[in-house]
Structure 1
Amino acid sequence: MANPTAAMLVIGDEILSGRTRDSNMHHLARKLSEAGIDLREVRFVPDEAEAIIAALNALRHAYDHVFTSGGIGPTHDDITADAVAAAFGVPIDVREDARAILAEHYARNGIEMNAARLRMARIPEGATLIENPVSAAPGFSLGNVHVMAGVPAVFEAMVASLLPRLTGGAPLTSASVDIPRPEGDIAGPLAALAAEFPQLSIGSYPYIREGRFGANVVIRGSDAEAVEAARARLIEMFPGEAR
């Protein structure tokens, strides 16, 4: 049976402007690979409701899971929760269990629970909360959409809270082979290898070292024995060179 599929929707003007470097995609891709969920697509959209809704509706109908990051904080431009509710056509309001989590957290730390912070307790109807052990404000899952914070430490904690609830498949394994030749020299053999192992993903990543061209070939798949067989076959194709 094929692994579940996933997409990621990264939300935020600060990402698209280059002011903030996104690290959440890298973290999520690694964790999903370990869980046996195949990340197939990543989109970046600004803090605009129409853009978020359109992307979300496209992705949630195309993949088994959609993971979002960004836009669930206390400020006026944190509109992700409202956009998700609109995409699903459900109401959104302050939810008592989310409010209680925030109230306890702020009381314990001597922080006022003001109107801005209360915005983070607004949850679409029918959603399930995602625990946030870092700063308390929860994310949520609605249908196959999982909504999480953009701050990397919080996003990573939410991913750790969420993934045990999801059903994955076979974790991906990988092997790499270094071939000190230009890609033009290895393209034909790689095509033959891909035809021989159609169940695997085979990618070539070129480099230049000390003025010489070469490529790292990465072989990925859920069948560890097939990955190893393909690695051995590739080394056979370039005896004395590939390693």
Structure 2
Amino acid sequence: MTDPTAAVLLIGDELLSGRTRDINLQQVAQYLEPLGIPVREARTVCDVQEEIVAAVNDLRAKYTYVFTTGGIGPTHDDITADAIAAAFGVGISEHPDAMRDMAARYAAMNTEFTAPRRRMARVPHGAILIANPVSGAPGFQTGNVFTLAGVPQIARAMLEDIGHRLETGAVIHKVTVRGKGLREGDLATRLGEIAKEFPAVGIGSYPWYGSIEDHGVALVARSPDKSALASVQTELETLARSLGADPEITT
């Protein structure tokens, strides 16, 4: 596999209401980028099973991998596991390995392994568990869909049990040329010319504005071709200097 792609499906009413700010998309994308697996699409859906099923089936048909976050906790609105099972047309029940590990963990904490907690051991039939070193309740892989917790700390920890399962693509190298005082309107024409001259390099322009004294543009170039990327870096530095900025470089 040379060009794997990924999508992220964020699940939860709390995200759509604005009550909770998502950072899982950023975490997943940053984890996958060094593996050469770009995230091509992200969606957010509510806690409605039909909506989750439709989104999962659409995304898993379009992309190599799908990562879902949220909805695998112990409460009534944690319906992601059931939705994944429905999307794949399989049953769902308590996984014996998950039950064993979770029972041992709660016993060690002198905490009752209640029915709501047992809900977190339910996974679609045929799914492979994803380890959760933070709180114990596992995620799971069903086909090309990886189902992670919504709590960012747990979702990030779960990713460590996923990397070895993925077929990687070409590693994307990146360089950022940051110019204080630059304005997009001044550099747009030349930036477009550079993009046409180097079609193998993706170039993005990202302005920031902190105050009148603190503003500018960060020019970010990405490519699997190190040689082309180096050439583009030189062009971007030259562009920044031509507009009176002293370029700051990060990779």
Under a length normalisation based on structure 1, what TM-score does the superposition of the two structures give? 0.94
Q: 1:205 to 1:107 in 2, by over 3 A?
A: same
- Separation in 2, partners of 1:8, 1:135: 22
Query: What CA deviation, in whole Å up to 9, does each residue of 1:96-116 have, x standing for no partner?
Result: 111111111111111111111
Per-residue CA deviation, residues 67-121 of structure 1 (Å, 9 max, x unaligned), is: 0100001110000000001011111111211111111111111111111111111
User: What amino acid is aligned across from residue 198 of structure 1 in structure 2?
Assistant: P
Q: Deviations over 1:138-192 (max 9, x none)?
A: 1000110000100111111101111122121232221112343321221111111
SS at match of 1:161: coil
C-alpha displacement of 1:47: 0.8
| Structure 1 segments unaligned to the other structure (5+ residues) | none
Match of 1:182 in 2: 183
Q: How much does 1:207 deviate?
A: 2.8
- What is the rounded CA distance, in whole Å, between the counterparts of 1:127 and 1:111 in structure 2? 27
Counterpart of 1:224?
226
Equivalenced residue count is 243
Check 1:99–1:229 CA distance in 2 against 1; reply closer, same or farther (3 A cut). same
| Aligned-residue offset at 1:214 | 3.3
Pairs within 5 Å for 1:4-153: 4-153=4-153
Report whether the alignment pairs 1:203 with 2:204: yes
Q: Contact 2:13 / 2:47 at 8 angstroms: preserved in 1?
A: yes
Q: Unaligned regions of 5+ residues in structure 2, if any?
A: none
CA root-mean-square deviation: 1.6
Q: Secondary structure at the residue paired with 2:161?
A: helix
How many Å separate the matches in 2 of 1:29 and 1:163? 12
Secondary structure class of the residue paired with 1:44: strand
Q: Distance in 2 between matches of 1:172 and 1:110?
A: 47
